[in-house]
C-alpha cells in the first residue's frame, strides 16, 4: 500500500509510534524515526523490515524537525507521510500543576505538532502532496482529571489540524487526526489497578486497545484508501466516550 513512499514518525522509538512505524514499513514504506533518544531511534529503525533510519529530534525545535525531514528527503528522495506522534505527560491536578508542567506539555504536543505540520506541508506542497497524521487523544475530546495541560494540548491538535487541512488541501496535502483511547502500552500498564478498572468500565467493547490497532488506522490515513479525507478525526477508543 505504501511502496516507494517515505514516512517520518516522531516519538517512534517505542510504544504507539513504533507500532505505526512497523505497520507502515510492513506495507512498503521507507521509514525515518525521530526521537529524543538517538540510540533507541537507531535501534528501532534497525528492527524494521524496510529501509529505515533513526534520527535524534526534539520536536519543539524547528531546526531539529527541519533536519529530520531533510534526512528523509536526502536519504530516500521524498517525504510522503508525516506522523506527529511525539508526546509527554506531566499529570497533576490544576491546583498542584506548575506552570512549567503546563508549558512543557503544550510545547511538546501542540507546538511540536504545529512545527511538524508546517514544515512537512511545506515540503509536500512542492512535490504534489502527501499525508500528515496528527496524534490527539480522547482526552482532547472529553477532558481528563489531572490533565488540564494534556487535554488542552490534545484538543488544540484537533483545531490546528482542521485549520491546516483547509489551508493545504488544494495543494494535495491531507491532514487528519487520530484520537486513541485506552491503549495497552508500558505507560498505561503502569497505572494502579483501581485506575485501570475504572477506565475499563467506560469502554463498551470491554477491553483496552492494542498499539497495532492505532497503527492500522494510521496506515489507512497514510494510504490512498483515504484519498478524499482531510480534516477528519478518527476515534479509536472501543466506543469509549461516544
CB 11 within 8 A of CB 59: yes
In the set 102, 114, 150, 221, the catalytic residue is: 150
For this structure, is 150 an active site residue? yes
Active-site residue numbers?
150
Amino acid at each position: 500500500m505504501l511502496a516507494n513512499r517515505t514516512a517520518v514518525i516522531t516519538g517512534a522509538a517505542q510504544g504507539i509510534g513504533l507500532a505505526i512505524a512497523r505497520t507502515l514499513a510492513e506495507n512498503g514504506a521507507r521509514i525515518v524515526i525521530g526521537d529524543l533518544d538517538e540510540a533507541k531511534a537507531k535501534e528501532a529503525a534497525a528492527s524494521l523490515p524496510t529501509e529505515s533510519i533513526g534520527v535524534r529530534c526534539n520536536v519543539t525545535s524547528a531546526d531539529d524537525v527541519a533536519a529530520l525531514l531533510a534526512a528523509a528527503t536526502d536519504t530516500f528522495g521524498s517525504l510522503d507521510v508525516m506522523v506527529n506522534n511525539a508526546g509527554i505527560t506531566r499529570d497533576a491536578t490544576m491546583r498542584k500543576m506548575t506552570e512549567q508542567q503546563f508549558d512543557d506539555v503544550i510545547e511538546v504536543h501542540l507546538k511540536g505538532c504545529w512545527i511538524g505540520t508546517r514544515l512537512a506541508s511545506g515540503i509536500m506542497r512542492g512535490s504534489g502532496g502527501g499525508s500528515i497524521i496528527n496524534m490527539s487523544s480522547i482526552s482532547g475530546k472529553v477532558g481528563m482529571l489531572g490533565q488540564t495541560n494534556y487535554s488542552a494540548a490534545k484538543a488544540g491538535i484537533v483545531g490546528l489540524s482542521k485549520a491546516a487541512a483547509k489551508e493545504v488541501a488544494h495543494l494535495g496535502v491531507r491532514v487528519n487526526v487520530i484520537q486513541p483511547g485506552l491503549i495497552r502500552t508500558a505507560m498505561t500498564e503502569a497505572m494502579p489497578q483501581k485506575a485501570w478498572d475504572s477506565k475499563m468500565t467506560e469502554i463498551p467493547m470491554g477491553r483496552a486497545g492494542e498499539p497495532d490497532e492505532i497503527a492500522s488506522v494510521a496506515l489507512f490515513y497514510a494510504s490512498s484508501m483515504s484519498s478524499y479525507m482531510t480534516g477528519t478525526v478518527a476515534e479509536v477508543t472501543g466506543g469509549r466516550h461516544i
